[in-house]
Structure 1
Amino acid sequence: MAQMFQALSSVLLPVVIVAGLGALLASQMRIDQLTIARLSMYLLIPALVLDVILRTPVHAAEAGQLGVAFLLVMGLSLLLGWLTGLGRPDAERRSLSAGAGIWNSGNMGLPIALFVFGEGGFDRATVVFLVSIVAMYIVGPALYGSASGPDQRSGPRGILRSIFRLPTVWVALVALILRLLNVPVPQGVTRGVSLLAQATLPLVLLSLGLQLGAGGWPPLNRRVWLASAARLIGGPLIALGVGRLVGLQGQSLAVLILSASMPTAVNALLIAQEYGGDAGTVSGVVLVTTLGSVLTIAAVVALLPGLG
């Protein structure tokens, strides 16, 4: 258990340092947060998706089952977050739903899965991550219901336009086709993509810090705490039920549960900023779940061997 806490601190400490520097910077000067968020969303995150798909071995036999299970867990988590916002303004309710239903299966989920399960678990966690990052950029526009900018439109047509103008979806499709057809990609291209991918996490964390620094301490009201509990406690419980339902066993089931115990993704904040959500509420859930996950993830890891 002591080793688990040490591993978590080694993952969380860099998060706190980078986000803290962003908060310090935003408290001293005015910074265009929307531009930084869009740089991440439209350039760096697509590069990360392309880099991961091209480099990481994906096991097709389990990928479909894990992907379906993840999407079911995500849908139920979004619903649980929505219920925590009943009676609240629409923007806040949607942001609470995003806070509970969009979690950090990447920069936290992947290293923790590697530490707990080794290479086999890491490969399965990578499948979950790939599904999650594409789903995130489909669910986000659909949840907030309109595209950003002066030509905002709601309804099915506006939602579809919002989804399909995001390069992450298209990049993922192209990368999967390249992998399936075994098309070689020039080394110079892959190295350029990898450089962009390496810049993704620092800039995303800086966005969180900039939001905290410019807006002050986020609102930690009762709804934020409820959505945080839905993420950290409800998430793994939902994953356990869904995993059993779809027939996952052993390490695949454990990886799904561990992924669903991760804190709210900082990318949820980027989506809220882009699509007119309540960024303050999302940043509050990100903060509470990131700090609280030190205890809850350790508890989940300690209970996983009991699954048999």
Structure 2
Amino acid sequence: MSYFSHILLNNVIPLTIMIAIGIVLYRVFKLDIKTLSKLNFYLFSPSIMFKMLYESSLSLAVLGKTLLFFCIYFIVMFLIVELVIRLRGYRGGMVTAMRNSVIFYNSANYAIPLNQLVFVGDPFTLSIQIIIMMMQSLLPNTYGIYSVNANKKSELKATLRTILTLPVIYVIPLAFLMKGFHIPVPGSIYTTVNYVANGFIATALLTLGVQLGSMKWKFNFSDVMLSNVLRLLIGPAVGFGVVMLMGIHGVMAQALVMSCAVPTSLSSVLIAVEYDNEPEFSSQAVFSSTIFSIFTVTMVIYLIKFIS
């Protein structure tokens, strides 16, 4: 089976089906998007983050180099999207929405299965992807929320109070501490964590579907396509430049470049919905980038084979 058909059948079509179910459920029952958003922020996201970090095997060397790569990559992508925002003359909530659609990407339920497909279950490349996933979970729940509230001129104290209520910022250090000191999680609690973590992908995709179902669908073609180009084409190209700059080679370089090639994160939609910041644009960016990633990710997978 080719990479194209595998990505289509095992990543994109299942995601699309879940999103379609969310659209239908909204049309029939008028589900409350705010309730779903809060479930994602306060229950499902922290549970899957704790589970994956607690169960992973991360070395300090891999952790340090991957974090350095991520920081450089994030800064470069941030500067590129800021330049685009200024050139396009965006104002208000669209500034944050465009930025989030590019710098926050789907490093969990899309990138992790893809990583294991391409690298045939390699635990080394999986550990790299988990580190990226950790940062891509932490940033939307800190900087992402701060930027949305700052754009609306909220008080700094209120913004910080909002960030400090989010469980994921406590879950990450807790998982590392418990793992580092070999502290076992009581069986009944860990069973509960597993139950909740297993529901993350479905709930996040249903939330996206409910948001799409509630939209008027005035498709913002130029802005959405611009976001897709920055995320799906410029993103992996910058990733390749960063690994070359850092002198990273072999399978680690391949895994890092591929981690940059995935579509826009569901986090951008959850933030947009929770704080009413261009939710229609954000939903369209996530949905369209997931569809177009069939072609762009396949191209990246082919090209990374030439990284030695």
Distance 1:84 1:23, change over 3 A: farther
Specify the alignment match of 2:262 in structure 1. Answer: 262
| Alpha carbons 1:99, 1:282 under 8 Å: kept | yes
| Alpha carbons 2:144, 2:271 under 8 Å: kept | yes
Q: CA deviation at 1:66?
A: 0.4
Structure-to-structure mapping, 1:7-86, within 5 angstroms: 7-9=6-8, 10-86=10-86
Specify the alignment match of 1:101 in structure 2. Answer: 103
Secondary structure at the aligned position of 1:223 is classed as helix
Return the letter of the residue paired with 1:144: V
Q: CA deviation at 1:29?
A: 3.1
| Alpha carbons 1:146, 1:153 under 8 Å: kept | yes
Specify the alignment match of 1:153 in structure 2. Answer: 154
Distance in 2 between residues matched to 1:93 and 1:299, nearest whole Å: 29
Q: Does residue 126 of the first structure (1) align with residue 126 of the second (2)?
A: no
Q: CA deviation at 1:7?
A: 1.8
Specify the alignment match of 1:306 in structure 2. Answer: 306
Q: CA deviation at 1:218?
A: 5.5
Cα-to-partner distance string for 1:32-81 (whole Å, 9 max, x where unaligned): 10111111111111111111111121222111210221133233323333
Q: TM-score, normalised by structure 1?
A: 0.92
Distance in 2 between residues matched to 1:284 and 1:78, nearest whole Å: 21
- The 10-residue stretch of structure 1 (247-256 or 87-96) with the greater mean CA deviation from structure 2: 247-256
Equivalent of 2:146, from 130, 133, 142? 142
Distance in 2 between residues matched to 1:37 and 1:218, nearest whole Å: 23
Distance in 2 between residues matched to 1:147 and 1:170, nearest whole Å: 25
Equivalent of 1:116, from 93, 115, 118? 118
Q: CA deviation at 1:146?
A: 4.6
Return the letter of the residue paired with 1:104: N
Secondary structure at the aligned position of 1:306 is classed as coil
Return the letter of the residue paired with 1:45: S
- The 10-residue stretch of structure 1 (205-214 or 161-170) with the greater mean CA deviation from structure 2: 161-170
| Alpha carbons 2:93, 2:151 under 8 Å: kept | no
Distance 1:194 1:236, change over 3 A: same
| Alpha carbons 1:84, 1:96 under 8 Å: kept | no
Distance in 2 between residues matched to 1:288 and 1:171, nearest whole Å: 31
Matched residue pairs, number? Answer: 303
Distance in 1 between residues matched to 2:41 and 2:218, nearest whole Å: 22
Distance in 2 between residues matched to 1:183 and 1:223, nearest whole Å: 48
Secondary structure at the aligned position of 1:184 is classed as coil
Return the letter of the residue paired with 1:153: S
Distance in 2 between residues matched to 1:209 and 1:249, nearest whole Å: 39
- The 10-residue stretch of structure 1 (57-66 or 257-266) with the greater mean CA deviation from structure 2: 57-66
What's the RMSD between the two structures over aligned residues?
1.9
Distance in 2 between residues matched to 1:276 and 1:216, nearest whole Å: 15
Return the letter of the residue paired with 1:219: F
Distance in 2 between residues matched to 1:188 and 1:71, nearest whole Å: 37
| Alpha carbons 1:7, 1:112 under 8 Å: kept | no
Distance 1:21 1:137, change over 3 A: same
| Alpha carbons 1:218, 1:283 under 8 Å: kept | no
Return the letter of the residue paired with 2:273: Q
Secondary structure at the aligned position of 2:108 is classed as coil
| Alpha carbons 2:53, 2:130 under 8 Å: kept | no
Unpaired runs of 5+ residues, structure 1, are: none
Distance in 2 between residues matched to 1:7 and 1:57, nearest whole Å: 27
Q: CA deviation at 1:145?
A: 3.1
Distance in 2 between residues matched to 1:51 and 1:97, nearest whole Å: 29
Q: Percent identity?
A: 23
Distance 1:35 1:63, change over 3 A: same
Q: Does residue 232 of the first structure (1) align with residue 209 of the second (2)?
A: no
| Alpha carbons 2:232, 2:263 under 8 Å: kept | yes
Return the letter of the residue paired with 2:65: Q
